[in-house]
Amino acid sequence: MRQAEGQSLFKELARQSDVVIENFRPGTLEKWNCGWEVLSALNPRLIMARVSGYGQTGPYSQRAGYGGIGEAMGGLRYIVGEPDRPPSRVGISIGDSLAGVHACMGILSALHYRERTGVGQMVDAAIYESVLNMMESLVTEYDQLRHVRERSGAILPRIAPSNVYPTRDGIVMIGANQDTVFARLCTAMQSPDLAADSRYKDHEARGTHQQQLDAIIGKWTATFGTHELLELLEMHGVPSGLIYRTADMLDDPHFAAREAIVSTPHPHFGTLRMQNVAPRLSRSPGSIRTAAPEVGQHNEEIYRDVLGLDAATLAAYRAKAVI
């Protein structure tokens, strides 16, 4: 892309493509004479998704942007972790993934628009805005109430009971904060009077006495084995479950029945297990057809079959490191 021949190849591909996706720092493609204005002039139906830390415009657009920085600026890092220590990370690069999901949503919307109008457009997906979009009513709470969400560890403040509780041999997640579900939990605990107790009778009261209620439930759950407790809670219709590790997922019959994890052949590793396509579509379900390609694996197929380049031209481009 830094060479004139590479730029010409790229433009020819863009001329025949539905979508171009890029995640350079804003202005990089323009520097190579391959920006949105140039490409859309070549192909008015083109959709171009541009993923960056801070977006294509604004005073921060030229800053280097990684997922973790986007999580911090978007408000996620501040509320993750225990209240008595600095913010923690989520455990995965969720900012990058959310930016990809939002870029995908933008592309799909642009494809629908193109179906109606015949015209493509540019999709500007910023990591920090993708994180911000997931932050529920955080902005509105501050705007209307000057309320700032703080780190709260395993609980959601004033949402009770919804926590991880101990068993004799492990832990179980229970979510019973809705009034009717809490009543079912109390029945399972053989403490129906708890649901009528003025401290726990409704959502607001349970939120006020959250710590006391969690202590009562934790004392009860600790008398059961994990699977014994899960069976009891399921019998009473109380949402509950294990905190799964990867090994638990691979052994779980529900994951197997829905083929949530599939195997795919790989030229170096033999077989790889990975997540299947989600969500599920009834008429056109997706599938994992191959492992991720090696860099340049499909060069010849694309340049020969799409652009019509012959072997001698490809060899010359390789010699000059254009491809």
Determine how many CB atoms are found less than 10 A away from the CB of residue 288. 14
Contact between residue 181 and residue 239 where contact means Cβ atoms under 8 Å apart: yes
Distance from C-alpha of 307 to C-alpha of 13, rounded to nearest angstrom: 7
The Cα diameter of the chain in Å comes to: 84
Distance from C-alpha of 167 to C-alpha of 244, rounded to nearest angstrom: 15
Pairing mode, strands 47-52 and 122-126 = parallel
**Is residue 119 helix, strand or coil?**
coil
Contact between residue 77 and residue 134 where contact means Cβ atoms under 8 Å apart: no
Contact between residue 46 and residue 17 where contact means Cβ atoms under 8 Å apart: yes
Q: Which helix (H) or strand (E) holds 108?
A: helix 94-117
| Active-site residue, from 96, 179, 248, 310 | 96
Distance from C-alpha of 260 to C-alpha of 254, rounded to nearest angstrom: 8
Determine how many CB atoms are found less than 10 A away from the CB of residue 38. 15
Nearest Cα neighbor of 13 from 56, 50, 46 is: 46
Determine how many CB atoms are found less than 10 A away from the CB of residue 134. 15
Tokens encoding 119: 């015209």
Distance from C-alpha of 47 to C-alpha of 106, rounded to nearest angstrom: 10
Active site residue 84: no
Residues labelled catalytic: 96
